[in-house]
A and B are shown apart, each in its own frame.
Chain A
Amino acid sequence: MVDNMSSHLVKEAKKYQEQLNSASLTEKTEALTQFEKIGLPDKKDETWKYTHASSFLTENLKLGTPQGTLGETKLKEISLGKTLSNKIVFVNGIFNEELTSLEEGLGFFQEEKSPVEGKGPFELFNKATSKTNLRLTIPANKVFENPIEILHIALDENHGHINCPQIHIEAKNYSKAFFLEHFICMAKNEVPYYFVNALTEVKCEEGSFVEHVKCQRDSSQAIHIAQVNAKVAKDAHFKSFTLSLGAKLSRNNVYSYLENTWANTSVHGLFVIKEKQQCDNFSVIDHKVSHTTSDQLFKGVLDENAHGIFTGKVIVNPDAQQVNSAQLNKNLLLSKKSKVNTRPILEIEADDVKCAHGATIGQIDENQAFYLRTRGMSQRKAQEILCHAFIQEALDKISSEEIKKFLGPILKERFEQFQILTKGEDNDRH
């Protein structure tokens, strides 16, 4: 291990572990030892080719216990629920039992030991320092149509802190559930700088269906690194959707392992970023056996100096015949200074498979914009409409109507904040 930031993180973790007196101490120290060995990724690491994470982190970040509370009314403002919905709440990275409410049918436990595995540096660091190990179980044959919310709320007090929330979801045989994992900054006074290093694990047992939608609206100064690991059993379906709007740097790691026949996964996402935001989407879909399917659509809309990255790795193991996989990444650049790196990585070792992939990077279509303008819409309005039209295809991938409805106004508000091409810039392009 070489860099200063890694040693700083180890020092912080050790301080935390010293005060700890629980059954999980052994696994935590083990995780830290492993983290210490590998350290934070550098540019030589292919999986982190475009994002030098440690350069976004500073050595005054600490693993503390930030104060700060939130009233029920505030909570209601940002949550889905017409009815008192199922929700698990974290405030400043710490599990908040009082604000959490779950109906009886769901199994919810705080465990001594972490059920998660974890190999990558950020996963290991999360495991070494996570304060609670939560396990949510969807009982066999039960269907929960109303989305279950997992809220991560950052307040002013979170400034300078490292948050390592962790949750483990288990969908038992033939169960069905929808999740909205929502990261949101509600600071009043300033734009806090904090580092979220979240870990969510999903185990889909036979014939189960889980949709996990993440909506990331962290503070514009925050660093957000989050990993979703899913194991998908026979006949099960795991859907992931990652919406990234906030944070100075966000990195979404989604790993989906298709472990038995007819397992199916969709790993979709959308990022809408501006200013100097960087959003790095990294996914691995691992077809371990035959007759497994996957599909993927990631869309990006970038304004000003924003930088978007998409890396989609699809692995088809030698024995995994009859696999069907499709991947597509489409990007819309609204300014000359924004940029996108897109990279499909296909590791196909079987011969009887169907794997499609594609990527596009484009600008607002001038003909479409002109068409709208001849119908009385201003340049700005026309662009807003075309941005919405562009993202619609991605948004339509979300199965939960309730979540889709919830995200609509959030995206609308987002586009209203956009500089999008004023007339001057438009002329500049000709």
Chain B
Amino acid sequence: MIEIKELHANVEGSEILNGINLTVKAGEVHAIMGPNGSGKSTLAKVIAGHPSYEVTSGSINYEVNGKGTDILEFEPDERAKEGIFLGFQYPIEIPGVTNIGFLRESFNSICSHQGAPEMNVSDFRNFLQNKLDLLEMESSFLDRSVNQGFSGGEKKKNEILQMAVLNPRLSLLDETDSGLDIDALKIVAKGVNALKNKFNATILVTHYQRLLNFIVPDYVHVLYKGKIIKSGGKELALELEKKGYDWLIKEAEQKGN
């Protein structure tokens, strides 16, 4: 579904991604782990097309209409329309825009791109109901301003609600577990798992192994200084939980020398 090759990216002149290679196939769940500042969130943002990051070399090949296409020139909204979804680490508050208006606008722009009919307000409310149920959210959420005054857990649930509405092919979930208590974490994980199928893929960016108890990854990658220094199965996450990152970093640095 997506193939990232030798990806280098800068922000304001300093290099954050330093040659990323990553291939994700449909039906897979990948976890990207690593210490603070290793470039995990940057990778997610670059895939989504954040304008503050400049890709200096490498490619991101993503399947568009059944063909592998380099999407580096795609605008963020074009990527979204092709099924790439970024769940934000810090969901943005937008006072003055209601959640339902935002969701509907978003849903309709993606539908019209994919040739599906748009939905009117009352149909859309019905369409949302079982998604709200899945995430154990009150429908009163819909009439509040986007993320304004939401608790950490509510914000993250709202991200997964958007994911459920947009039904993406590739979900990038950036630190979706941060700011969640155990109950909220279970609900969010339940939501992500329910949306999983053999046609879509998920990249989880996370700091802790905790989330991976609930959303089990097929692959775990460790990012350090903008490079993947180790890849493995789900047991790698458990090993990291016990031993931390230091041993891997040492190993990588020795190799480098």
Interface set of A (CB-CB < 8 Å, partner B): 366-368, 370-379, 381-382, 385-386, 388-393, 423, 426, 430
Complex-state Cα separation, A370 to B102, whole angstroms: 14
Cβ–Cβ contact B102 & A368, under 8 A: no
Complex-state Cα separation, A367 to B146, whole angstroms: 14
User: What residues on A are CB-neighbors of B85 within 8 Å?
Assistant: 374
Cβ–Cβ contact B51 & A426, under 8 A: yes
Cβ–Cβ contact B94 & A374, under 8 A: no
Nearest CB in chain A: distance from B50 CB, A: 6
Complex-state Cα separation, A382 to B92, whole angstroms: 13
- B209-253: CB near A (< 8 Å → 1, else 0) gives 000000000000000000000000000000000000000000000
Complex-state Cα separation, A382 to B91, whole angstroms: 16
Complex-state Cα separation, A249 to B166, whole angstroms: 45
Cβ–Cβ contact B102 & A375, under 8 A: yes
Across the two chains, which residue of chain A brings its CB closest to B79? Answer: A374
Complex-state Cα separation, A430 to B97, whole angstroms: 27
The stretch of B20-28, B103-111, B134-142, B197-205 that contacts the partner chain: B103-111
B192 CB-CB contact with A under 8 Å: no
Contact of A376 among B52, B92, B97, B113 (CB under 8 A): B113
Q: Number of B interface residues at 8 Å Cβ cutoff, please give it.
A: 28
| With A368-B94, A388-B97: A376-B51 Cβ-Cβ less than 8 Å | no
Cβ–Cβ contact B109 & A377, under 8 A: yes
- Nearest first, the 5 A-B pairs at minimum CB distance are A389-B96, A375-B106, A392-B96, A373-B76, A376-B109
Cβ–Cβ contact A371 & B92, under 8 A: yes
User: What residues on B are CB-neighbors of A368 within 8 Å?
Assistant: 92, 94
Prevailing SS type, chain A contact patch: helix
Cβ–Cβ contact A374 & B95, under 8 A: no
In B51-93, which residues have CB < 8 Å from any A CB?
A: 51-52, 75-77, 79-81, 85-86, 88, 91-92
Cβ–Cβ contact A388 & B51, under 8 A: no
Cβ–Cβ contact A371 & B94, under 8 A: yes
Nearest CB in chain A: distance from B115 CB, A: 14
B48 CB-CB contact with A under 8 Å: yes
Cβ–Cβ contact A376 & B95, under 8 A: no
Cβ–Cβ contact B106 & A367, under 8 A: no
User: What residues on A are CB-neighbors of B106 within 8 Å?
Assistant: 372, 375-377
Across the two chains, which residue of chain B brings its CB closest to A426? Answer: B51
Cβ–Cβ contact A374 & B76, under 8 A: yes
B162 CB-CB contact with A under 8 Å: yes
Nearest CB in chain B: distance from A136 CB, A: 35
User: What residues on B are CB-neighbors of A378 within 8 Å?
Assistant: 75, 77, 109
Cβ–Cβ contact A393 & B77, under 8 A: no
User: What residues on B are CB-neighbors of A389 within 8 Å?
Assistant: 94-97
| With A366-B51, A370-B51, A381-B109: A375-B94 Cβ-Cβ less than 8 Å | no
User: What residues on A are CB-neighbors of B91 within 8 Å?
Assistant: 371
Complex-state Cα separation, A13 to B92, whole angstroms: 58
Complex-state Cα separation, A367 to B45, whole angstroms: 12
Cβ–Cβ contact B95 & A367, under 8 A: no
A-B contact sample (19 more), CB < 8 A, given A378-B77, A381-B109 = A370-B50, A371-B88, A371-B92, A372-B102, A373-B49, A373-B77, A374-B85, A375-B80, A375-B166, A376-B80, A376-B166, A377-B105, A379-B77, A381-B105, A385-B94, A385-B102, A386-B97, A388-B97, A389-B96
Complex-state Cα separation, A373 to B50, whole angstroms: 9
Complex-state Cα separation, A390 to B94, whole angstroms: 9
User: What residues on A are CB-neighbors of B76 within 8 Å?
Assistant: 370, 373-374
Interface centre among B50, B91, B92, B113 (most CB of A within 10 A): B92
Complex-state Cα separation, A120 to B77, whole angstroms: 53
Across the two chains, which residue of chain B brings its CB closest to A373? Answer: B76
User: What residues on B are CB-neighbors of A426 within 8 Å?
Assistant: 51
User: What residues on A are CB-neighbors of B113 within 8 Å?
Assistant: 376
Across the two chains, which residue of chain A brings its CB closest to B82? Answer: A376
Cβ–Cβ contact B105 & A385, under 8 A: yes
Complex-state Cα separation, A375 to B49, whole angstroms: 12
User: What residues on B are CB-neighbors of A392 within 8 Å?
Assistant: 95-97
Nearest CB in chain A: distance from B82 CB, A: 10
Cβ–Cβ contact A375 & B50, under 8 A: no
| With A376-B80, A376-B113: A390-B166 Cβ-Cβ less than 8 Å | no
- A-B contacts, 8 of them at CB < 8 A, read A366-B51, A366-B52, A368-B94, A373-B76, A375-B162, A378-B77, A381-B105, A389-B95
Interface centre among B49, B75, B105, B162 (most CB of A within 10 A): B105
Cβ–Cβ contact B86 & A374, under 8 A: yes
Complex-state Cα separation, A381 to B110, whole angstroms: 13
Cβ–Cβ contact B86 & A393, under 8 A: no
Cβ–Cβ contact B96 & A376, under 8 A: no
Interface centre among A370, A392, A393 (most CB of B within 10 A): A370
Cβ–Cβ contact B80 & A393, under 8 A: no
Complex-state Cα separation, A393 to B85, whole angstroms: 30
Complex-state Cα separation, A371 to B166, whole angstroms: 14
Cβ–Cβ contact A385 & B80, under 8 A: no
Across the two chains, which residue of chain A brings its CB closest to B48? Answer: A374
User: What residues on B are CB-neighbors of A372 within 8 Å?
Assistant: 94, 102, 106
